[in-house]
Structure 1
Amino acid sequence: MIGTWQAIIIITFILSLIITLWALIDIARSEFSGNNKVVWVLIVLFTNFLGAVLYFFIGRKQKINH
């Protein structure tokens, strides 16, 4: 049986994985000036959840709107 703490850890891991993947998909579908797309991909990949949160608060404002 899975204990309460184990369930919390699994749910937290799954949520952080979903948020990270969501950020990477949003980065891939968007256009940025210069090398900002590559920089954001690297930030999200190497810092996982924290990078995704930073992207949603800072990086989305850097997208090029047509």
Structure 2
Amino acid sequence: MVNTTLSFVQNMGGGFIIVLLLFSLAYFVLWVYCLVDAIRSNFKDQNMKLIWVLILLFAHGLGPIAYLILGKGSKTT
């Protein structure tokens, strides 16, 4: 079973698939971090919490990156 799986991965361009899986895992971890941070944080305006959670849920491609760049400025310290 392991041999057939390994040969399947090699035939599909095993290196590419492994890199794709690693990037997918890293992106998922980043997304979860941003979502948990947005839920736990206090914002200057409480509506911003809801807005950031919705952005993170529905804008998968750019949501976490936008949150890391723009979201930190709207939090209370």
User: Do both proteins adopt the same fold according to a TM-score greater than 0.5, normalized to the shorter chain?
Assistant: yes
Q: Which has the higher contact order (CA 8 A, sep 6+)?
A: 1
The residue that corresponds to 2:30 in the other structure is: 19
The residue that corresponds to 1:38 in the other structure is: 50
The count of aligned residue pairs is 65
Q: Which structure 1 segments of 5+ residues have no match?
A: none
Q: Which structure 2 segments of 5+ residues have no match?
A: 1-5
Contact 1:19 1:49 (8 Å CA) reproduced: no
TM-score using structure 2 length: 0.78
Give the fraction of aligned pairs with identical amino acids, expressed as a percent.
29
Q: What is the RMSD computed on CA atoms of the aligned residues?
A: 1.1
Question: Which of 1 and 2 has greater Rg?
Answer: 2
TM-score using structure 1 length: 0.89
Please report how far the alpha carbon of residue 56 of structure 1 lies from its aligned counterpart in structure 2 after TM superposition. 0.6
Runs of 4 or more above 4 Å deviation:
none
Structure 2 residue 20 is the aligned partner of structure 1 residue 9:
yes
